[in-house]
Amino acid sequence: MLRYTKTAMLLHWLIALLIVCAFALGLTMVDIHGFTPTKLHYYSWHKWLGCTVFGLACVRLLWRLWHPAPPYPVAMGQLQQKAATGLHGLMYFLIFAVPLSGYFYSLAAGVPVVYLGLFPLPVLIDPNPEWKPILKQVHYALNMILAGGVGLHVLAALKHQFIDRDNLFKRILP
């Protein structure tokens, strides 16, 4: 059985963990009423997680270009292969689009992003009260699509592990 490289496995699971943390933190922080120090900390941590996901996604994409994924099992039908390829493509797009939409939302709101409180990211757009609500909705919608994609990805992995028993899931396990 062909497997992903150890680097690909590490990047996969680390990005997955960070996305889950950022998503949970994002849902928690928006439910905090008012402007509190806790809410401010959560927003900063959420942004730092997003920046980290974006950076790791860049590394992951470069790694993937030189280390392609193992081929699907021969027994896996063409429709399933196309669905899997499509879902993987969508998720790759989203691991870039979600952090970028959050970054531009912050800038439109007039809040610069300072990674880890140490490294200010470039301010690519001026504060824009017209774009702020649009970018907020884009960021939210992309997150919901990503959450649905992750759910489908997990369900497909479980199907392959427990119904098909084709060892496909083991390719990404360390």
Sketch the domain layout of the chain as residue ranges: 6-172
pLDDT at 141: 98
Residue type present at position 45: W
Q: What are the per-10-residue average pLDDT scores of the chain (174 residues)?
A: 94 98 97 95 98 98 96 92 97 98 98 97 98 98 98 96 93 94
Q: What is the DSSP string of 122-157?
A: P--S---TTHHHHHHHHHHHHHHHHHHHHHHHHHHH
Q: What is the DSSP string of 1-22?
A: -----HHHHHHHHHHHHHHHHH
Dist. CA 138–CA 98, nearest whole Å: 9
Other Cβ atoms less than 10 A from the Cβ of 35: the count is 7
pLDDT at 1: 76
pTM score above 0.85: yes
pLDDT at 75: 87
Name residue 119's beta-bridge partners: 115
pLDDT at 74: 85
